[in-house]
Every structure is written in structure tokens, then in C-alpha cells.
Amino acid sequence: MTKLKTSLIWLAALSLIFQVAHAALPSAWFSNNGEMPTLAPMLDQSKPAVVNIATLSHIRVRNNPLMDDPFFRRFLNIPQQQQPRHRTKQSLGSGVIFDAKKGLVLTNSHVIQRADQITVSLTDGRSFQAELVGSDPATDVALIKIPAEDLTALTLANSDQLRVGDFVVAIGNPFGLGQTVTSGIVSALGRSGLGIEGYENFIQTDASINPGNSGGALVNLRGELVGINTAIFSPGQRAGNIGIGFAIPSNMVKQISDQLIEYGEVKRAYLGVQTQDITDELASAFNIPPGQGAVITSIQKGSAADEAGLQIGDVITSVDGQKLRSADSLRNTVGLLMVAQTINMDILRNGQNKTLKATVKEIKKQTQQAPVHPKLSGASFGDIEPGSPHYGKINGVVVYDVKRSSPAWNAGLKTNDIITSVNKGKVISLEDFKKRVRNNGTLLFNLTRNRRAMFLILR
């Protein structure tokens, strides 16, 4: 009897534990009859909102330099007026239906970059040609539109409520295999300073994000969108996924998409300060904990910071109640604000806590759009913006825009390239750039692209 009673007690305890666990876990883990833990019910609702994106680009193939020599052209009997050759490039990625009624689809900017044709394929077999609504390479967010009905969209979650350890699921189209699903947890939040994008505030996850997953959905166990999958960390080009993937938070995506819908671009705000991180030495000097806030090193005259009364040496510790960890976090926070938005800044000045208000302004770009050289037609150039991560760190001019199929596009220039020298002469400003390219035949650019230096020849 004793053994029987003991067995019955254990069975009752196990039953109680199972019932408590069943009640505590999200319903997505269980099928309709509750017999088997599964994510299938949630995925059945979420997967139709994740689409495949295929792009087609026509890239001009540069001729061998010898083919430009008149002697060799005559020797080889090559016609003087030879049509430029092009090759076709195809790529695959993923997207997330953002607005079912309007046919709006979110994806990564790098997925549709330089695409002449964008095809969106749905899980029900339908395919549509998409048009570009707008793109923001600085955050790697793009918005496209398809003429489709009866679409399923994902609900956006509040990504600020995510915690390390939350379960997440990545849905995408890696390697063109069709939809795949991987699961994991949130392993870190607020990742920045990685050099992947201009403005970074990544969700880090160990859910596998593979080539083709870019632009796909990172969802919670309720099937709500918490992020857009965008990149992985890999120690080598062939190392593959090692469990460190990054996604753009849904709140950041919403801020960017709102501006893309309204303006077709992002009108970036700036405060008008240069800052640096609080090191251990600075923390000791200011008598504050290290690794918190950003100290102001310079203030632009007439800027929002100047008008708000900020001073050099002030330590900005939070913006609108959001604590700052570094100078990058301040730049990200301000760069994602709407122009003319008023913010409250908590600062530390001479050991005293203060709160100041500032109304952020739009970055005024001084750009050159008129072609200063035939090969540069179709591109606009400008000085490095105060809000750029390169401001004060590198000299040069930025390629702000390149029109498709223009001479600049065909020459190989890309949006966000930073040109640091022309024909081996350093470029300091837009005016300097204009002088160096004017009345020059062949142009040799030294430029920075995605934080990598390279040469580009324009003949």
C-alpha cells in the first residue's frame, strides 16, 4: 500500500506540474487538441505574411582598358562605336507584408539595391511585380508595393518590451528553398557599433539567419513581428551561421516606414553635437558610473543643441527617459526622431542633474546634382552630414543618390559611397570635389563603401 500511495502521489504531482506548465506557456506551443507541443498553429497564421523577393539587375560590363586604345581597336578591327555590354544579375531575399490593404511589403534595402525588376512571390503561388516606395540604406530598411488583394499582414509588436531570453522564430527564404523556419531566443538587445549599418540598434538572436533570410520576419510566440532579419556575424566568408544573427527592431522599422510612406525617403533629424563614450577615466573625472551616457565634445552653432543651452562637457544620460549607453546610442536615438520633434534630455553638468528641452532640426544637405562630369550624370553628391557616423572621422563627399541606368549608375557608383580622393588628390569638401572632377577625362576615385576602401575608374 505504501508503494501504491507513493506512486499515486507522484502521478498527481506530475499531473499538476504539467497543468501549470500548460497554462504558463503560450498557446502557440500547443496544437488544437493540446496533445503535442508545437509552433504550427502560430506559423500557420504567420507564414502567409512572409514573401519571397527576387530581383533582376542589369550591370554594365567594363571593357578591358586595352580596348579603349585606338591602336588596338584598329589592329583588332573593333568598330569605333561599340555598344556597351551588360550582364544580368539575379538575387533572392525575403519580405514581410506590412499593410495588407495597401499591398505594402517591408524588406532590407540591400535586398532590392540596384534592382531593375522586383518580383514578389506569395505562399499561395501568386507573383507580382513590385514598385519601390522608398529605401533607407542607413538603416537597411526598404518598402515596396504590390498590386494584390486578399493579403495577410503581420501585427507589429512593441520591440521595446523584448527581453533577453524571449523565444523568437525567424521565417525566411534561404538559398531559394522556399519558406523555412528556425527558432531560438533573444540573446542580446541594443547591439550597435558593429559597422553593419549607419544607424544600429539590433536585436541579437541565435535563431539561424541564412542567405535569403534577409528581409524576413523575426516573430514572437504570438506570431507578432518583433524584427526584420538583416545580417549575421561570421568569422569567415564560408563559416556560415554560428548562432549570432541580427534583426532590426519593429519599433525602428515602424519609424522608418512611416517616413518612407510620407516622403519616399527619411528626413533625418540631428541635434548638432559631437560626443564620445564615457571611458573609465572620464567616468572618474565626472564622478559617474562608466559605460553610461555620452559626453559632448563640440556643439554646432545655431543647432538644436546650441538653442537648447547644451554646453561642451555636459554628459547626456537619457533622451525622453531612454537611458543612453554610448555616443552611438545617442546618434541612433536622435537620427530616428521625426524632424521638429521636441525631446527631454537628462544631463549631468558639473555634478548637477539637469533636464533640458530641444527641438531637433532636419539635416540640411548641400548637394550637387548638375553633372560636373559626363560620367557623373544621374548622381547627387554632398558633404558628410553632421549626423553621419563618419562625420568628423573621415574627409570626403557622399554619393547621396544614383538614378537607375544613368551614366553614374553604369560607372559603378552606389548610394552612400564616400569619395575620399580624385585622381590621387584628397577631397575635403563638395567644392573641392567639384574642382577636381571638372575638365578631367578619366577619373580615378578612391572611395569607402560599406567601411571598405576601394578604387573605381570612370572612363
Active-site annotation holder among 46, 94, 136, 140: 140
Does residue 214 carry a catalytic annotation?
Answer: yes
CA pair distance 225, 168, nearest whole angstrom: 10
Sign of CA dihedral 319, 201, 267, 376: positive
Does residue 140 carry a catalytic annotation?
Answer: yes
At 449, list the grid cell.
Answer: 563603401
DSSP letter for 265, please.
S
Closest CA to 296 of 341, 334, 340, 339: 334
- The CA–CA distances, whole Å, from 391 to 171, 271, 308, 370, 398 equal 36, 13, 22, 24, 11
Does residue 390 carry a catalytic annotation?
Answer: no
Active-site annotation holder among 91, 94, 109, 110: 110
User: E strands of 130-172, at which residues?
Assistant: 131-136, 141-145, 167-172
User: E strands of 262-341, at which residues?
Assistant: 269-270, 273-277, 294-299, 315-319, 322-323
At 175, list the grid cell.
Answer: 538559398
CA pair distance 200, 365, nearest whole angstrom: 22
DSSP letter for 47, please.
G
At 167, list the grid cell.
Answer: 523565444
CA pair distance 53, 146, nearest whole angstrom: 11
Beta carbons of 397 and 419 less than 8 angstroms apart? yes
Beta-carbon count within 10 A of 302 CB? 10
Active-site annotation holder among 109, 187, 192, 214: 214
At 441, list the grid cell.
Answer: 577625362
Active centre residues (catalytic): 110, 140, 214
